[in-house]
Each structure stands twice: as structure tokens, then as C-alpha cells.
Amino acid sequence: MNSPIMLEIKIGGNSIIYPQDLSKLLNKIAKILPAEGNEPIIINGRLPVWVFSALTYWFYHRPWIATYEPREIKGVVVGSRIADVSIGDLIEIKEIKKIYVEYP
Amino acid sequence: MNSPIMLEIKIGGNSIIYPQDLSKLLNKIAKILPAEGNEPIIINGRLPVWVFSALTYWFYHRPWIATYEPREIKGVVVGSRIADVSIGDLIEIKEIKKIYVEYP
């Protein structure tokens, strides 16, 4: 397992994204960060719940997936296939590698 | 594929759930609604994004998964393994079967 990556998504324009944008957003992310790979993913952004859920589904085969929780200033693990990382675990995000995606 | 089920989760007490509650919530849901099955799932509730994401991960093998979007009064499909249902599709929730889970 490699070091985790925090995926920071920014919705441009009026900050609104619609359900019909979802597959285009995923296509854009896919060019930057593949669905499968050895780095766990922490999802971050001011996004509707269905974008977080769609990205969780998208990155399902990663070692683990977390969503960033501003109230904890940490990631919360939402699914894991790694023995030493469990659902609900908090992930420190200091010094973490970040990848930025802006949509559209 | 069977008819979809809307899973409505209510957090009791002060309406707050913490990351360390996540596996207990999933254990409670698992007794009522198995992770795998032929009914697609629409997730609903006043919940942190990491609960929606954890449930999306949990129900990954279902035919499709949606999250309820109050602004659309519909479900938004976040992942599908069914040819005629695509990510971003809106799902009517009238006359849908509902299953309620209260935590704790």
C-alpha cells in the first residue's frame, strides 16, 4: 500500500453541480487519478452527498477510502480492504499528498 | 432486479453520530437489510457525508445505489452495475418501499 492521496474537488462557476454532471466529473477525475491503484483516497470538497457517494463507489477497489471531515480536521475511513485500517478510523491529513480537480 | 428500497436512517438522541459509531451503525443495518441482494438501495437521512459514503461502500454489490436528494425530491444514482440505470440518473421515490433504521 502506498501513501494516501487527498483528492480535492472544486466546483467552479456558481459552485453548483447537477446530477447530470456526475459522469462528466468522473471522466475528468479519471484522467488525473485512476479508479484503481495502490494509494488510498481521501475525498474532499464542498460537494453534495451524491458526489461523495459516487466517488466512494468509483474508488471502491482502492486499499481504503475516507472522506474529509472538517469538524475533526481528519479523514474518516468509510471502507477498507486493509487489515490495519478499519471503517470509522480517523486519518491525519498533515503532510498528505494532494491532487486538485476543478469542475468544469 | 427487484424493486428498489429506500433506507431511511434516523440518528436519535442529539442527532449526532461520531466516526466511532460507524461500524455499530452498519452492524445494526446488516440485521435489517443485508449488504448484498437484488433490490437497489436509495440511502436517505440527515447524516454526515461519511455515513452516506460508508453505506455506498457497504451496498456496493447491489444492482444500483442512489442517495436521496431533497432538492430534486428524487434519488441520484451514484453507482450501477445494471445496463439501463446510469450514474447521475434521477429515481422517482413515490410508492417506493421504505425500511427505517434508528440509531442507536
Give residue A85's pLDDT band: very low, low, confident or very high (50, 70, 90): very high
Can you give the pTM of this predicted structure?
0.97
> In the predicted model, what is the mean pLDDT of chain B?
96
Instruction: Say yes or no to pLDDT of B1 above 90.
Output: no
CA dihedral B26, B27, B31, B34 (to 10 degrees): 50
Q: Render pLDDT for B75-95 as a digit per residue (tens, 0 to 9).
A: 999 999 999 999 999 999 999
The H or E element containing residue A43 is strand A41-44
- Indicate if ipTM > 0.95: yes
Cell of A79: 471502507
DSSP string, B56-101: HHHTTTSSEEEEEETTTTEEEEEEE-STT--TT-EEE-TT-EEEEE
DSSP string, B29-50: HHHHS-SS-SS-EEEESS--HH
Query: Chain B contacts of A57, Cβ < 8 Å?
Result: 56-57, 60, 65, 78-79
> In the predicted model, what is the mean pLDDT of chain A?
96
Instruction: Say yes or no to pLDDT of B13 above 90.
Output: no
Instruction: Please indicate if any CB of chain A lies within 8 Å of the CB of B69.
Output: yes
Q: Render pLDDT for B21-35 as a digit per residue (tens, 0 to 9).
A: 999 999 999 999 999
Cell of A93: 491529513
Chain A, 10-29: which have a CB under 8 Å from a chain B CB?
19-23, 26
